Structure 1
């Protein structure tokens, strides 16, 4: 599944809701641990794309893929902003402010995550989550 959204808080909410609906159509109900974890990861990555990756006039993209043989769901959120430094690790300390913990949540829920540059511009932040409850966390 792939979709594009306006780079706004509303777009981030719509991306999260679409991910939950997509998983429900694949027999992962909204109350399942898989759906809840994916919703949280999509919400965090989409919020980051809106807050840190927004380029006026550009959207962000969400792609979800399900690998039942490998037991993973892959979440990719792409934005148009080229970062000076791509995210490679979650912060090691908690900031004093109300924000800055999103990648810590992604790190805790995902089996693997990272980022890649997009050409000609932008970046994609991705995360792979286990379809077996509790096995994707570190």
Structure 2
């Protein structure tokens, strides 16, 4: 396995109520955490992650809700990507896997969320577990964000290999 790809720089995990309020709070917490990591509000990455978190958490509270069970948001900052994971309690209702999401009719009022996630992310997928499932998406971090985030001077030739400069979590 490539150590540069799997190296975790930092992570954030929060359980939230499986309600619309919980989904909204998840998006707000994600943006706040990105800002704390050096990815400012309103940046392209921040806006992209906001959309991805909004779609995945909306699906979790709409289709993955089990009464009395929460959902979990996890953000994993890696050298070249930010991974968003949303885990819900329902395993019998599986979303379509990548490549299987069908485009809804033009009159349909729903069904575009995972297509949006697919377009905004580098990769996405589903990890099934015995009592829950995790839907994840990875958002690519542009080199400019990497240099600011990891403290590498803009002209430094090692900026393409940020794992050499990663602080320990």
Partner of 2:104: 94
Residue 26, structure 1, aligned to residue 33, structure 2: no
| Alignment of structure 1 residues 32-47 onto 2, 5 Å | 32-47=43-58
Question: Does residue 1:126 correspond to 2:126, yes or no?
Answer: no
Are the aligned partners of 1:115 and 1:126 in contact in 2 as well (CA < 8 Å)? yes
Matched, 1:5 2:10: no
TM-score (norm 2): 0.73
Question: How many Å separate the matches in 1 of 2:37 and 2:22?
Answer: 23
Contact residue 74 and residue 127 of structure 1 kept, 8 A: yes
Cα deviation, residue 87, structure 1 = 2.8
Instruction: Describe the superposition over 1:57-111 as per-residue Cα deviations: whole angstroms up to 9, x where unpaired.
Output: 000000001012xx10000000000135443125232233211100011000110
Contiguous gaps of at least 5 residues in structure 1? 134-138
Cα distance change on mapping 1:85 and 1:11 into 2, 3 Å: closer
Q: Tell me which protein shows more helix as a share of its residues.
A: 2
1:83 touches 1:122 (CA, 8 Å); kept in 2? no
Q: How many angstroms apart in 2 are the aligned matches of 1:48 and 1:29?
A: 26
TM-score (norm: length of structure 1)? 0.89
Cα separation, 1, equivalents of 2:142 and 2:69? 35
Higher Cα Rg, which structure? 2
Query: What stretches of structure 2 of length at least 5 have no aligned partner?
Result: 1-11, 144-169
The Cα shift of 1:122 comes to: 1.5
Q: 1 or 2, which has the higher strand percentage?
A: 1
Match of 2:72 in 1: 61
Does the residue aligned with 1:63 lie in a helix, a strand or coil? strand
